[in-house]
Amino acid sequence: MALLLCLVCVGMAWDDAPAPATAPLDVVSAFEKVLTDAIARTEGAVVAIHRDRDENARETLAVRGRPRAKADVEARMLRARMLDDEAISFDFGSGVVVGDDGEILTCFHVVKGASRLIVRAVDRQAFEAEVIAADPRSDLAVIAPVAGPGLPKPRLKPIPLGDATGLRKGSFLITLGNPFNAAMQDGRANASWGILSNVARRVMYDSEVDSTGRRVVQLPHYPTLLQLDSKLNLGMSGGAVVNLKGELVGLVTTAASPAGFDAMAGYAFPIDRMGRRAVETLKQGKEVEYGLLGIRQSAGFNANMGNSNRIDSVSPNSPAALGDLQRDDVIVAVEGAPVHDFSSLIVAVSAYAPGDKIRLKILREGRELEKTLVLAKFPVEGEIIATVRPPAWRGIRVDHRSLLIAPQVGFNPVDAAPQGVVVREVEPGSPADKAGLKPWQTIREIGGRPVTDPAEFAKVVADVKGPARLMTDLGPITVEP
């Protein structure tokens, strides 16, 4: 690549344009300055992360609001060792400061299962951190410094978010991170640069296995990833991909290429519409929610159809059914953006949240039609971490009814009434608990007023002062104040 760049520069210098010829070295020096300035502006926002994790850990413990790990002698010695300049970590990754209060974006797999997180930042700063939110579907998480008496606030400068939508093959990109744990001693990120080799790649690397042994396919397996031409070594997961303006346009998400894929390539999750929404939501400590249509693709893969975006079936009472989508309809655009297969359709819909109204362009029997529908909520599998949750009403938190299709719930309510919310959580000893409400029970009406989603539920219960009569899928239940 360096040779190619030099040849281009020489060609520019020998151009017959009226402007005075520019010396090749001047052109190269100008590009070098742009590159080094971009690195200088952004490298201070990249940190190294050490994870202390119990073997076969099933739950992430280093989470804000959860009881801290037991401060025994061994734990105190570990923390002291990791805060030392000569620390050696065997479980490490990278992160990027994205918030004014020190919020750090990283990959969920870098911090998942952690009982303790130690971060090394610029100027040899070292501090303990905790997860404030994590999304297993996008493999993104946001952590923040642990605050408390006697703990100084780290001096961290966030990086501005860019937009990966405008990137093209050949765009110059800089990667910053912690390869082979090089930054754990001094907090100084390693930098490299190259070009964007491809956009929206689909990479089938090892997926997560849940507690039942079933393999869970997450969002990175769909065509969302940026492919870079530089090798991203162990420890770069969670590292920054920045443009020459010094803006974050991607997050390194897989350090080593999976078998069967380009061994010299690296991959990154793009900061586009969906990525930006996920980052901003996680910074607030909230759950990332994805839109759901309620359709199945046509079965089979063939040379003519490929990974088809033709509808095979529509779930009753789903957004697709209520929006008049039918079997054999072909969805060709979402909000004006073309979709070419079922995978790209899922990604396009996932960029919107449940409750959003979207326009679909479809082909039906050779005619082009436009349909508008309101999205339900996609049931995300895996460990969802959200430290900021909606307030409970009389001891319950509710969610979208479409979550009932999740495999972990065990049934599909396709023949149920279209309206309702599901009980996601019941606080022990609360009025709702005493009334007999159970998780995954459906609430269809409150005081005779139908409810269709959590937002409407919140509006209805705000007017309820005394005993509330709820109509559920198991019959009427009265919840006292």
Q: Which residue has the tokens 């219960």?
A: 461
Q: Mind giving me the DSSP string for 451-463?
A: --SHHHHHHHHTT
155 closest CA partner among 126, 179, 128, 176? 126
Q: Residue 350, SS3?
A: helix
**Chain center to CA of 275:** 6
Per-residue pLDDT tens over the stretch 107-127: 999 999 999 999 999 998 999
Is pTM beyond 0.95? Reply is: no
Which pLDDT score, from 0 to 100, does residue 31 have?
87
* Single-letter residue type at 259: A
Q: Residue 159: which of 146, 176, 171 has the closest Cα?
A: 176
Alpha carbons 113 and 126: distance in angstroms, whole number: 21
pLDDT of residue 289: 96
Report the alpha-carbon distance of residue 287 to residue 284 in Å, rounded: 9
CA distances from 423 to 189, 315, 409, 456 (A): 45, 21, 12, 14
DSSP 326: -
Mean pLDDT of 406-429: 69
Confidence category of residue 265, pLDDT binned at 50, 70, 90: low
- What mean pLDDT is predicted for residues 283-293? 96
Instruction: Please report the domains of the chain, with CATH numbers, ordered by start residue.
Output: 35-288 (2.40.10.120), 291-377 (2.30.42.10), 390-479 (2.30.42.10)
pLDDT band at 305 (very low <50, low <70, confident <90, very high): very low
Q: Provide the sign of the torsion angle of the four alpha carbons 192, 196, 198, 202, taken in this order.
A: positive
Instruction: Pick the most confident of 10-19, 263-272, 435-444.
Output: 435-444
Report the chain's mean pLDDT, rounded to a whole number. 83
HSE value, Cβ hemisphere, 13 Å, CA-based, for 212: 8
CA angle in degrees (0–180, nearest 5) for 152-153-157: 145
Question: What distance in Å separates the CA atoms of residue 204 and residue 223, rounded to the nearest whole number?
Answer: 10
Neighbour tally for 435: CB within 10 Å: 18
For residue 347, what pLDDT is reported?
86
Q: Using CA atoms, how far apart are residues 104 and 94, in angstroms rounded to an integer?
A: 10
Q: Is 174 within 8 Å of 193 (Cβ atoms)?
A: yes
Mean pLDDT, residues 8-13? 46
> pLDDT tens, 47-105?
999 999 887 778 999 999 988 655 544 455 455 555 555 555 668 899 999 999 999 99
Return all residues near 166 (Cβ < 8 A) that are at least 6 apart: none
Q: HSE on the CB side for 277, CA within 13 Å?
A: 13
What DSSP element (H or E) covers 112? none
At 1, list the tokens: 């690549």
Give the whole-angstrom CA distance, residue 115 versus residue 100.
Answer: 25
Q: Average of pLDDT values for 373-396?
A: 93
Question: Cβ(357)–Cβ(381) under 8 Å?
Answer: no
pLDDT confidence of residue 68: 66
pLDDT of 343 strictly over 90: no
401, burial (CB in 10 Å: exposed 0-12, middle 13-18, buried 19+): buried
**Average confidence (pLDDT) over 210-220:** 52
Buried b (16+ CB within 10 A) or exposed e, 199-237: bebebebeebeeeeeeebebbbebbbbbbbbbbbbebbb
Q: 302 pLDDT band (50/70/90 cuts)?
A: very low
* pLDDT on residue 215: 52
What pLDDT score does 438 carry? 95
Q: What are phi and psi of 27, to 5 degrees?
A: -65, -45
